[in-house]
Structure 1
Amino acid sequence: MSYFTEENSEEAVSARMGENVSPRLRQIMDALIHHLHAFVKEVELTEAEWEVAIDFLTKTGQICSDTRQEFILLSDVLGVSMLVDAVNHRAPDGATETTVFGPFHVEGAPERQMGDNICLDGKGEICLFQGRVVDLEGNPIDNALISVWSDNYEGFYDVQQPDIQPPFNNRGIFRTGPDGRYAFRGIKPVAYPIPDDGPVGKMLATLGRHPWRPAHTHFMVTADGYSRVITHIFVEGDRYLTSDAVFGVKKSLIIPFEKVDRANEAWQADFDFVLCRQKQNKG
């Protein structure tokens, strides 16, 4: 074992790992050490810059709470969350593409009846969401669970405004029947900024980037024997589609919201979720 030098820094650090470290952990740490040290050498990081980085990470941790995860936000805006998603959810052509989970999903949302309205505060433009859950051959999937959540008409999720919005506002779970169909009413989603009052927001501003996400509704679709799909549908024509702060947009997930003139809704969004069996998944 050699002493630490600038030239052999990667090898010196990796060599300190014990013999009983799991092969996978060793692989991950070796790669992390390699890329981290290579980065420092490539940019010739100054001590002052290193101190700024440590201060940034410290403040990122300090702002985290039970309702806010600034490190996930950091991962999102650097594209890491989407890259991890892409690596882990390689699916066959034709299957619904996945995107980031986001920080605003909550457990315990109620299961509702098909056609129910998940907008509990009565605000926003009501939209009928409908479609089918099918397999790659177009066969309907029975007993699929569709969990949905979205922001309110002002761009906030219920967990961001617990004293303002009703619990589980714009949230619900729906179960398909033999025809694989789903239908519910919610609001036409609106664009909103990610929380930008912390270290990540300041970083975005320094980099000349905006904090906005295009209008979207979240879905998580599960069914026995099929790979889970976590995704969004995006409103066609939204100004932020090509500059989403968290890189979550995929072309196949952008759909038209049709303007309608009906008593119970002003908009309609049609989208079919195509699931692949677990053995069909490339990931």
Structure 2
Amino acid sequence: MDPTSIAKLITKEADVTPTVLAAMADTDDPRLKEIMTSMVTHLHQFLLETRPTEAEFEYALRWIVEIGQFTNEFHNEVVLAADVVGASTLIDLINNDGMQGETMSALLGPFYRGDAPACANGECIARSETPGPSLFFSGKVVGADGAPIAGAALDVWQASPVGLYENQDETQEDCNLRGKFTSGADGRFHFQSVKPAGYPVPTGGPVGVLLRAQKRTPMRPAHIHFIVSAPGHKTLITQIFSDSPEALATDVVFGAKQQIVGDFRMHTQPHPDYPGATLPFYTCEYDFRLVEGTPVFPVPPISGKKS
């Protein structure tokens, strides 16, 4: 054997990182090279710092495998895992800092389907019998200058007040509490639903094992998801929250932000703007502000309903 090649073999801890980096040095894609160089460097440093045992390393690999095994067309454990360790919120803030005057964004979450039915303004997205007081949500979509944006699309989805999205719950109709609306010439939109409630994220898989080991709450504060888009504008992915300060502060996926807490008002008396509404009911008005840019849409983490 060539003595030169023998000298390049790994013989101690300090040899591993430079040897792996050298093996990747000819990567043509500069961004891939940058990302993988940084990832390997930090991963190796993490391993050297924490010094896992072989049993701990094997357990970690099994946990990662189980994340994939628990992911299917109606449940995405991979996205959930990224959410509960704060990675999704960090990626969101890296790419959407809210400093250009736009509405603050929030993580997509693991329950976006992307096939919500088109609805006329004013329609109710509670398609099956859904408990909870009625909610009348309204607002307008505007640009950075405050001018109304006509024809903006608003993709809306939420969990039922029992704490389940319809794809998790066989008792709910397909696409219950999901809908896609379009703003009018004045930028306005409105729809009916039920007031959202806080709920636990799914804990039957490896993410639940992690949360229990860390003695963490699995709860998310009450919220409604929105994807707001319009030609010539950056797509806004956000959530409008309705819950106590404590619930917001202990959001298991770290997604709650003060700027996107809505004013959900309870009405205990009849109101002329909402004739026939069953008491008590809630209203919320929230305006979405978009900035100029190219619309880009996320790949839905799920595509179907549990049967």
TM-score (norm 2): 0.86
Amino acid at match of 2:283: Q
- Answer with 1 or 2: which has the greater Rg: 2
Pick from 278, 288, 306 the counterpart of residue 273 of structure 1: 288
In 2, Cα distance between equivalents of 1:142 and 1:129: 18
**Match of 1:183, SS?**
strand
Give the aligned partner of residue 56 of structure 2. Answer: 49
Q: Which deviations, in whole Å up to 9, do the C-alpha atoms of 1:35-89 show, x marking residues without a partner?
A: 1000011112221211221121122222222212211111100000111111122
In 2, Cα distance between equivalents of 1:275 and 1:249: 19
Contact 1:214 1:239 in 2 (8 A): no
The within-5 A match list for 1:205-220 is 205-220=212-227
Give the aligned partner of residue 299 of structure 2. Answer: none
Q: Which deviations, in whole Å up to 9, do the C-alpha atoms of 1:210-257 show, x marking residues without a partner?
A: 111000000000000000000000004264210101011011011221
Q: Which deviations, in whole Å up to 9, do the C-alpha atoms of 1:74-118 show, x marking residues without a partner?
A: 110000011111112234343101111111111221111111111
Task: Give aligned-pair identity as a percent.
Answer: 36
Q: Indicate the RMSD between aligned Cα atoms, in angstroms.
A: 1.6
Give the aligned partner of residue 273 of structure 2. Answer: none
Q: Which deviations, in whole Å up to 9, do the C-alpha atoms of 1:118-146 show, x marking residues without a partner?
A: 11123221101011101122111111001
In 2, Cα distance between equivalents of 1:211 and 1:185: 28
Contact 2:125 2:177 in 1 (8 A): yes
Matched, 1:3 2:9: yes
The within-5 A match list for 1:126-205 is 126-161=134-169, 163-205=170-212
Number of matched residues? 278
TM-score (norm 1): 0.94
Contact 1:236 1:255 in 2 (8 A): no
